Structure 1
Amino acid sequence: MSAKKLPQVVAAVCVCIGATAVKLTLKSIHVIVGALGTGTVLGWTSNITDALKEGKLNGFTMDDEMLGWAGSIMTIGAMVMCFPVGWLMDAFGRKPTILIIVIPFVIGWALIAFARHIAMILAGRFLTGVAGGSFCVSAPLYTSEIAQTEIRGLLGTFFQLFITIGILLSGVLGYLLPLPIYHFFCIAVPVVFGVLFIFQSETPVYSINKSKMDKAEKAYRRLRGKDYNPADEIKAIQEQIAKVQGKSFKEAMKTKAAKKATLICFALMFYQQLCGINAVIFYSKEIMISSGSTLAPHWCVIIIGVVQVFATIISTLTVERVGRKLLMMVSEALMALSTALLGIFYSLKNYNAISEDTAKSIGFIPVLSLVIFIIAFSFGAGPIPWLSSAEIFPPEVMAKLSSAAATFNWFLAFLVTKFYLTVANAIGNDITFYIFTVVSITGVFFVLFVMVETKGKTFAEIQDEMNK
Structure 2
Amino acid sequence: MKVFVRADTHVSSIVLDGEPKPKFTISQLITAVAVSFISMVIGYMAAYTSPTQNSLEKEFHVTTNQMSWISSFMPFGALFGALCGGTLIEHLGRKWSILVTNFLFLIAWTVIYCAEDYRYLYAGRIIGGVGVGIASLTLPVYLAETLHPKVRGTLGLVPSAFGNIGILSCFLSGIVYQWRTLALIGGILSTPFLLLIWWIPESPRFLMMRGKEEKSKRSLRWLRGTAFNVDKEHVELQNSLRQPYNQNERMRILFSRNILKLLFIVLGLMFFQQMTGINAVIFYTTKIFRDTGSTWDENICTTIVGLVNFMSTFIAATLIDRWGRKLLLYVSSISMVFALGILGTYFYLKDNKAAIVDLQRCGWVPLSSFILYILGFSLGFGPIPWLMMGEILPGKIRGPAASISAAFAWTCTFTVTKTFLPINEVVGTHYTLWLFAVMMLVALAFIKVFVPETMGQSLDDIERKLAGVKIKPMSSVGNLRPMPSIY
Normalising by structure 2, we get a TM-score of: 0.85
Question: 2:259 corresponds to which residue?
Answer: 258
How far has the Cα of 1:372 moved from its partner? 0.9
Displacement after TM superposition at 1:371 (Å): 1.6
Asked if 1 retains the 8 angstrom alpha-carbon contact of 2:160 and 2:313, the reply is yes
Q: What is the root-mean-square deviation of aligned Cα atoms in Å? A: 2.5
> For 1:240-251, what aligned pairs fall within 5 Å after superposition?
240-242=240-242, 245=245, 248-251=249-252
My pick for the range that moved more, 424-433 or 131-140, is 424-433
| Cα distance in 2 for residues equivalent to 1:278 and 1:99 | 25
Partner of 1:10: none
CA distance in structure 1 between the partners assigned to 2:120 and 2:287 by the alignment: 31
Read off the aligned partner of 1:109 and give its amino acid letter: W
How far apart are 1:343 and its partner, in Å?
A: 2.9
1:437-456 pair list within 5 angstroms: 437-456=437-456
Report the secondary structure of 1:417's partner residue. helix
Verify the 8 A CA contact 1:113 1:184 in the aligned structure 2. Answer: yes
1:99–1:256 distance in 2 versus 1, CA, 3 Å? same
Indicate the SS of the match to 2:195.
Answer: helix
Larger displacement relative to structure 2 (199-208 or 343-352): 343-352
Q: What runs of 5+ residues in structure 1 fail to find an aligned partner? A: 1-20
Change (3 A) 1:206 1:169: same
Indicate if the aligned counterparts of 1:257 and 1:463 stay in contact, CA closer than 8 A. Answer: no
Task: Classify the secondary structure of the residue corresponding to 1:54.
Answer: helix
Deviations 1:47-68 (A, max 9, x none): 222222333xxxx554444332
Q: 1:300-449 residue pairs with structure 2 within 5 A?
A: 300-355=301-356, 357=358, 359-449=359-449
* Structure 1 partner of 2:17: none
How far, CA to CA, are the matches of 2:157 and 2:466 in structure 1? 22
Mapped pair 1:74 → 2:74:
yes
Range with greater deviation from structure 2 (436-445 or 319-328): 436-445
Higher alpha-carbon deviation: 439-448 or 416-425? 416-425
Distance change in 2, residues 1:241/1:255 (3 Å): farther
| 2:152 aligned with 1:152 | yes
Deviation at 1:249, TM superposition (A): 2.4
CA distance, structure 2, for counterparts of residue 91 and residue 282 of structure 1: 34
Q: Take 1:354 and 1:368, find their aligned partners in 2: how far apart are those partners?
A: 22
Q: How far off is 1:380 after superposition?
A: 0.7
- CA deviation vs aligned residue, 1:431-463 (integer Å, no higher than 9, x gap): 222222221011112111210111000111111
Alpha-carbon distance between aligned partners in 1 of 2:400 and 2:91, rounded to the nearest angstrom: 11
Q: Report the Cα distance in structure 2 between the residues aligned to 1:288 and 1:100, rounded to whole angstroms.
A: 36
Q: Residues 254, 412 of structure 1: CA spacing in aligned structure 2 closer, same or farther, 3 A cutoff?
A: closer
Q: What is the CA–CA distance in structure 1 between the aligned matches of 2:104 and 2:286, rounded to whole Å? A: 32
The reply to whether residue 234 of structure 1 matches residue 226 of structure 2 is no
Of 19, 39, 51, the residue aligned with 1:47 is 51
Decide whether aligned partners of structure 1 residues 65 and 380 sit closer, same or farther in structure 2, where only a CA change above 3 A counts.
Answer: same
1:184-223 mapped onto 2 (5 Å cutoff): 184-223=184-223
Question: Alignment partner of 2:455: what SS?
Answer: coil
| CA spacing shift, 1:354–1:284, aligned 2, 3 Å | farther
For residue 217 of structure 1, report the CA deviation from its aligned partner.
Answer: 1.1
Task: Determine what percentage of the aligned residue pairs are the same residue.
Answer: 29
Report the CA distance shift for 1:372/1:152 in structure 2 as closer, same or farther (over 3 A). Answer: same
- The Cα shift of 1:269 comes to 0.6
Residue number in structure 2 paired with 1:295: 296
- TM-superposed CA distance for 1:151, in Å, is 0.8
**Aligned partners of 1:422, 1:328: CA distance in 2, in Å?**
30
Match of 1:127? 127
Q: Gaps spanning 5+ residues in structure 2: where?
A: 1-24, 469-487
Deviations, residues 282-303 of structure 1 (Å, cap 9, x unaligned): 7755765687743322112211
Aligned match of 1:94 = 94
**Contact map agreement 2:295 2:363 (CA 8 A) in 1:** no
Q: 1:337 & 1:73 partners in 2: Cα distance? A: 30
